[in-house]
Amino acid sequence: MRVSKGRNAFSFRSPSAWWQGVASRAVHRLWDGVRTAGAVTAERPGRLRFRSIGPGTRLAFPQGTVFGEAWIELGAHCVIAEQVTLTAGMLPGLDLGPDPIVTIGDGVVLGRGSHIVADGRVTVGRDTYCGPYVYITSTNHSYDDPGTPVGKQWPRSAPVEIGPGCWLGTGAVVLPGARLGRNVVVAAGAVVRGEVPDHTVVAGAPARAVRSWDPVRGWRPPLRTPPPLPVPDGVTPGELLALAEDSGDREPSGES
């Protein structure tokens, strides 16, 4: 039993509280072990049999809905966070033919809760990063017949292509037929359809270009933020971590 001195009185930590602390630590250790064992890699695919999965790629546990994995290609060194849905075809168990449906390039990051839902071809270029809850689909509901519930009408499909080096912010939606060029930035919550040229920033629903790169004039309109400072040569990751922790521990002095 531990005694701690408060402002005006002593407080006692009961045996039940001590056991609750022990149980909490044990549960967290167990959950860490489950997450490690449940992660999917090329060496430990579990029940999933992807068309291909590159070295260094990891699907965090728990995974979201995954089916049609025989038509899904995952590149090398991808980071696929928890609860990410990857589906090829409208239902599990379909024969989708000889060609892949979903191709994810090397170094792609899919944030927590993101979805790639593909009946038609979906390609995500290498080194593309997606924030949490991004939704990419090659299929959309149709509503041509006003007398039939929308969910019972045959959907429309069109290929989706996302170029290399893109950044899709939290909650972005990429609709069927979209084609994003190289190093495109999609703002959080944007809804993208149609073609987006290389080095363009889009925002809104529907998404519209708000900034683009001109080889002569640079970014138009100009960037409002200063460029990030490069990391000096020879600085180790440990030194960067220590610097960040030191900066976080400092209290504002109040001086102007």
Distance CA 54, CA 77 (A): 7
Residue 182 contacts residue 167 (beta carbons within 8 Å): no
Distance CA 115, CA 87 (A): 8
Out of 28, 77, 141, 199, the active site residue is 141
Burial of 147 (0-12, 13-18, 19+ CB in 10 A): exposed
Distance CA 159, CA 208 (A): 20
Q: What is the dihedral of CA 204, 206, 211, 213, to 10 degrees?
A: 140
Whether 77 is catalytic is: no
Distance CA 163, CA 143 (A): 30
Annotated active-site positions, please?
Answer: 141
